[in-house]
Amino acid sequence: MASLKIPHFLLFALIVATSTSAGTIGINYGRVANNLPNPSTVVSLLKSHGISRVKLYDADPTVLRALSGTGIRTTITVPNELLISTATKPSFASAWVSRNVASHYPDTLIDVVSVGNEVFVDPHNLSNYLVPAMSNIHQALVDHRLDSAVKVSSPIALSALQSSYPPSSGSFKPDLAASVIKPMLEFLRRTGSFLMVNAYPFFAYEANSDVISLDYALFRPNPGVLDPGNGLRYYSLLDAQIDAVFAAMSALKYDDLRLVVTETGWPSKGDPKETGASVDNAAAYNGNLARRVLVSDLNTPRKPQADIDVYLFALFNENQKFGPTSERNYGLFYPNEEAVYEIAFTADGATPRRKEVPQVKAVAPAAAGGGGGGVTTSSVGTTWCVANGRAAREKLQQALDYACGEGKADCRAIQPGQACFDPNTIEAHASFAFNSYYHRNGRRVGTCDFQGAAYVVTQAPKFGKCELPTGA
């Protein structure tokens, strides 16, 4: 993980999710600590939380044996210190694959080999060895007839970008683009692999908290940031960071490649100067991101159909990591397996309301007392927040899930059998939840937007027999 320090004028941006498919959340299992449980216990922890993907920073045989038979998809890593040998000695790469992949697969579902980690920021200047090392590992997989099942890639940090704001101007550093990144992207295309990216909105927010909204960084409702280069509006910092990478790939003519976020997270504790590091913010970032991925998949304004897999960093707090306090406090769990904070790793746990409301056609506002949604007489000085009937159903559902979940809206009345369950439509239920959230947050500017899924009205709304209250 490399810290990204961004000048104050490099504002990043946030989130629009439109896909109806659901993704998966993986976890990075780092072990730079002297107090962690044994691998078998860790695997039991992963299984108990429904975690189906794990990424390792080595290929420890004890860990790989513990993962055997679990069905957990596993990414293993050729450490940076082995990169030169892997690149210059095909026999070394062949032996490494034989020992660390072929001897465990398929009992342990190794599906990715990460060759190095953030090689471009490694102080040992290993960049020129990266693509040869990747090629030798891939050839060894071909020799073992494992190249279809196991892909080869390498995570890059956002510091590989020369430009990242606005996202549409994203480009790679010139000294890396031609010599290393373009050959790497060509290798990924040729082998049917994908680009790994480590992205941390926390670093950008920490360095620029005076100009970057915390809501924007934590996937909370916010007015968004417009990219003047392409007219797209961003509602999350992570989306903007990802799209900056997509723009950089596009500049090199590699629009067709997939991208996987192999590290992202938020620390639960930091030094006094590490603005934003807290348990509440870590729970909000990881919880909201996981909910988005699991319920509606992670896509971006530039790539609305790109279903992006995400690996959270990290499984445990690691007490032997160097650097500021935050480096030792990215874990979702303490070494005793107690959760630092609660988030969901499966769709069932991430969706506050599992009942799906049927898609309905938009209707004109009905008169008071009718069966549809409408606006009644004026109520001077009072405002309400209602769903935008023209918004996509998926956007309304995502915003509804947020309001009733992390947003802490009072959604009891729209549960089955309760007073405002009927009419059972996405617009009616969302309006009730949005209005509760709006009033609970003091009707502040920006709390009735939900990324364009809601707006403020000055006449009392009514849906069927359900009137929206004027309080929380």
With beta carbons less than 8 A apart as the criterion, state whether 450 and 434 touch: yes
Amino acid at 312: L
Contact 265, 318 (CB under 8 A): no
Backbone angles phi and psi of 416, in degrees to 5: -50, 130
Token pair of 405 as six digits: 């979940």
Distance CA 309, CA 393 (A): 23
Q: Do the beta carbons of residue 274 and residue 266 sit within 8 Å?
A: no
Active site residues: 118, 263
The Cα 248–Cα 241 span in angstroms is 11
| Residue 186 near residue 321, CB atoms below 8 Å | no
- Contact at 8 Å (CB) between 106 and 144? no
DSSP state of 469: P
E strand or H helix at 26, and its extent? strand 25-29
Phi, psi of 301 (to 5 degrees): -55, -40
Dihedrals phi, psi of 289, to nearest 5 degrees: -65, -45
Element (H, E) at 204: helix 201-207
Residue 365 DSSP class = P
d(CA 431, CA 463): 9
**Chain-centre distance for alpha carbon 454:** 24
Which of 24, 19, 17 is CA-nearest to residue 347?
Answer: 24
Q: Calculate ∠ Cα 137-139-143, nearest 5°.
A: 115
